[in-house]
Amino acid sequence: MTTTGRGIVTLCLAACCVCTANAYEDTGAVADRIQSAGRGAHLGHELCGYTSAQVADYKERLRRSLSAPAGFDTEWDYGWKRAEPMLLQYQSLRVSDPQDYESRVRLVCATLRSLARRLPKPTNHDAQPSQ
């Protein structure tokens, strides 16, 4: 093989490595986003009074917006569980400093509402029939 041929092969292999690294990075970013959403949904449910139906709707809109990635439910559940220590801290804060607790909860709820609004709403053909 000539030097030029080796250079092209090396360049192709390097490009493949970069593409593979980006694919893994994107998969990791998607997993992080799902986990964060699950964590936020749990906080919203417990602190902001989001109903189970609202959480389920948010979860499905997120799933569709990410093109239903493999492992979605596992990542969501992991994020949901990761909210538990934060909820314990909020419970402690409610007892020790109710004013700070209220302030923080208002901020968290406003942030979660803003994030939920950014997800695309279901189109008419995606919407569930009402009963």
Per-residue pLDDT tens digits for 36-89: 999 999 999 999 999 999 999 999 999 999 998 999 999 999 999 999 999 999
pLDDT at 77: 98
Domain annotation covers residue 96: yes
Q: Which residue has the tokens 């964060």?
A: 36
Domain annotation covers residue 48: yes
Domain annotation covers residue 8: no
Range of the domain at 70: 19-118
Domain annotation covers residue 127: no
Number of domains comprising the chain: 1
- % of the chain with per-residue pLDDT over 70: 73
Two structure tokens written together for 107: 């901020």
What pLDDT band is residue 7 in, cutting at 50, 70 and 90?
Answer: very low
Domain annotation covers residue 130: no
Mean pLDDT (whole number) for 126-130: 45
Contact between residue 35 and residue 79 where contact means Cβ atoms under 8 Å apart: yes
**DSSP-based three-state secondary structure for 4:** helix
Reported pTM: 0.72
